[in-house]
Amino acid sequence: MKLRIFSLSVIATGLLVACSPDPGPTNRPANEATPVAEQPRTPAAESDANTDAEPLIVYMNRVTPDEVGAGAGTISVRQSAEGLVFTPNLMGLTAGKHGFHIHQNPSCEPEMQDGKKVAAAAAGGHYDPTNAGKHTGPEGDGHKGDLPMIEVNSAGVQQQVTINGLTLDDLQNRSLVVHERRDDYATDPAGDSGARIACGVTK
């Protein structure tokens, strides 16, 4: 009797031991396998999606006749069905509208013009691949680099601007320039928009 009870308890213990580790190992790998299998997939899927819609970030600098100065924020540019969307996030702009253009050269350095140094003059004129030779604004038939103005409210917030007919390829090795005043979209060469105050090279 004692032997039988003993052996039964051994069998019972053996069953318990046999049963309890079994669910453990089967559960644990299942639990571990799930996140391990899902984790690499999720970031990969996200980065694939981001690559498609990857915006171009243009780092802007304050520009003066003497130098390319401090960082002035960014303008991110992305392709959309409506065209190129520019999202400015710039610092230190006065409220109101500012002329905004793609300029020809990938430089924001000052240069001598008519015997005096001019801010961001090395950026050259407006991007004009068709040699239109006229400044008529974003709806016009002139420079392709004529962009809608950047409008800044009293809190310093800037609206997105969208332009049709341009792609990110048009921005390769150019510069983006913000001017001190509004652009009249008529006066050559830069719509009477005054000095270049912020500039960023696009790559």
Contacting positions for Cu ion (CB under 5 A): 101, 177, 190
Closest residue to Cu ion: CB criterion: 101
CA 40 vs. chain centroid, Å, equals 25
- Shortest distance (Å) from residue 188 CB to Cu ion: 12
- Shortest distance (Å) from residue 40 CB to Cu ion: 46
Distance CA 130, CA 148 (A): 19
- Shortest distance (Å) from residue 185 CB to Cu ion: 12
Q: Are 162 and 28 a contacting pair, CB within 8 Å?
A: no
Give whichever of 75 and 190 is closer to Cu ion, judged by the CB atom: 190
Give whichever of 161 and 190 is closer to Cu ion, judged by the CB atom: 190
Q: Residues 6 or more apart from 197 whose CB is under 8 A from it?
A: 62, 63, 93, 98, 119, 178, 179, 180
Distance CA 186, CA 137 (A): 7
> CB burial class (10 A; 0-12, 13-18, 19+) of residue 143?
buried
- Listing from the earlier edge strand, what are the strands of the sheet with 175-179? 100-103, 175-179, 196-201, 56-63, 68-80, 83-90, 161-163
Amino acid at 198: A
- Shortest distance (Å) from residue 55 CB to Cu ion: 22
DSSP state of 93: P
- Shortest distance (Å) from residue 116 CB to Cu ion: 18
Give whichever of 76 and 105 is closer to Cu ion, judged by the CB atom: 105
Give whichever of 73 and 196 is closer to Cu ion, judged by the CB atom: 196
Give whichever of 177 and 197 is closer to Cu ion, judged by the CB atom: 177
Give whichever of 62 and 101 is closer to Cu ion, judged by the CB atom: 101
Tokens standing for 119?
A: 């801010």
- Shortest distance (Å) from residue 179 CB to Cu ion: 6
Other CB atoms closer than 10 Å to residue 78's CB: what's the count? Answer: 15
